[in-house]
Amino acid sequence: MLFRSLENIVKNLIQNGKAKDTPVALIRWGTTPKQQTITGTLENIVQRVREAKLKAPAIIIIGHVVSLREELAWFDARPLFGKRIIITRARAQASALVQKLSDLGADCIEIPTIEISPPKDITPLQNSIENIKQYDWLILTSVNGVKFFFDTLFGMGKDVRILGHLKFACIGPVTKERLRDYGIVSDILPETYRAESVVKAFSDMDMPDINMKDKKVLLPRAKKARTILPDELEKMGAQVDAITAYETLLNEDGKKELIDRLRKREIDAVTFTSSSTVSNFMSLIDPAEAKSLMNGVLVASIGPITSDTARELGLEPDIEAEEYTIPGLVDALLSHYLTD
């Protein structure tokens, strides 16, 4: 239909006096990451559209305004324009990553492999809050830990005044900023955003009361989490209560779309922002088909822990963020495509 209509339009324009060298452009899916633009003249546009296999629907623009395309083509000149990138992060937390990648031109496909929820039994966390006076330190390892700790605190009819005696440590600047939203400034923020760095930060801090011997630490975190932080703090003499504040569950809602898109080779990259996004992603794919499905798909990891999990599951990351944050992951993708 598109070819026949275009041929008819071009033929009639030329027959009625339009010059053969008049510029023409056809645009499909305009102003979206799928935008496809074919330019030419009345004399050659039909052939160019046929060669490009452009399909309807498409908008036809005729006239010298088309000559301004190179000057005005900011939209499809963005560095990630047209790259189809799967976002595996929980939908409630994916907006920042989606926004940053979309602003760079990417076509973001949200297929969350995890969902974050309170633990089935919140009694242990409630008991810890009820006895908060016995703790010296509160260590928060993620934004989720902050959210669910304070949700539980407020749900018990209490407020931040009961935390006034505590010292705080956070992993990552985003966690620190989320804590600050509640009016609390973290005493410790490690140089890098891993549990090992928190341990090192405790060891390096020149504070008279930093000695962790016999200090009681409350560590609200994910149900499934690495043991290195509580283990190392206990080696320093601390008494650590690692309490489940939230859990990450498998989200299978996007399984069919994921498999279909991978089979059709519609995906350029997949982003992983935690170990659980990787393990859940791989659980959605038939192991016998995984290598074939991921062939040619760029694997982008937010940091070394996530990368290690990917490798354990047979998935080698192509990109690893230098700064283990969402902006760091975006920068890593951008750098890869700009130097590719």
CB 199, CB 229: distance < 8 Å: yes
- pLDDT for position 207: 52
Please list the ranges in the chain whose pLDDT falls under 70. Answer: 1-3, 70-76, 190-210, 340
- pLDDT for position 132: 96
Mark out the alpha helices in 205-263 (DSSP H runs): 228-235, 255-263
Task: Extract the tokens encoding 215.
Answer: 């200090």
CB 134, CB 162: distance < 8 Å: no
pLDDT tens, position by position, 193-213: 566 666 666 666 555 556 778
- pLDDT for position 318: 94
- pLDDT for position 281: 95
- pLDDT for position 166: 95
Q: How far apart are CA 272 and CA 283, in angstroms?
A: 14
Task: Extract the tokens encoding 241.
Answer: 């209560």
Q: How far apart are CA 94 and CA 217, in angstroms?
A: 31
CB 61, CB 27: distance < 8 Å: yes
**DSSP conformation class of 54:** -
- pLDDT for position 109: 94
- pLDDT for position 53: 85
- pLDDT for position 171: 83
User: Pick from 273, 270, 324: which is nearest to 293 by CA?
Assistant: 270
CB 35, CB 71: distance < 8 Å: no
End-to-end CA, the chain: 37
CB 128, CB 152: distance < 8 Å: no
- pLDDT for position 56: 80
What does the DSSP assignment read for 146-205?
HHHHHHHHHHTT--GGGGTT-EEEESSHHHHHHHHTTT---SB--SSSSHHHHHHHHHH-
In the block, residue with structure tokens 């393990």: 279
In the block, residue with structure tokens 């330019």: 39
- pLDDT for position 225: 80
Q: How far apart are CA 209 and CA 205, in angstroms?
A: 10
- pLDDT for position 110: 94
CB 263, CB 239: distance < 8 Å: no
- pLDDT for position 72: 63
pLDDT tens, position by position, 47-60: 898 888 888 888 89
User: Does the reported pTM lie above 0.75?
Assistant: no
Three-class SS state of 235? helix
- pLDDT for position 229: 83
Class of residue 256 by CB neighbours under 10 A (exposed 0-12, middle 13-18, buried 19+): exposed
Q: How far apart are CA 175 and CA 143, in angstroms?
A: 5
- pLDDT for position 27: 87
CB 146, CB 279: distance < 8 Å: no
pLDDT tens, position by position, 144-161: 999 999 999 999 999 999
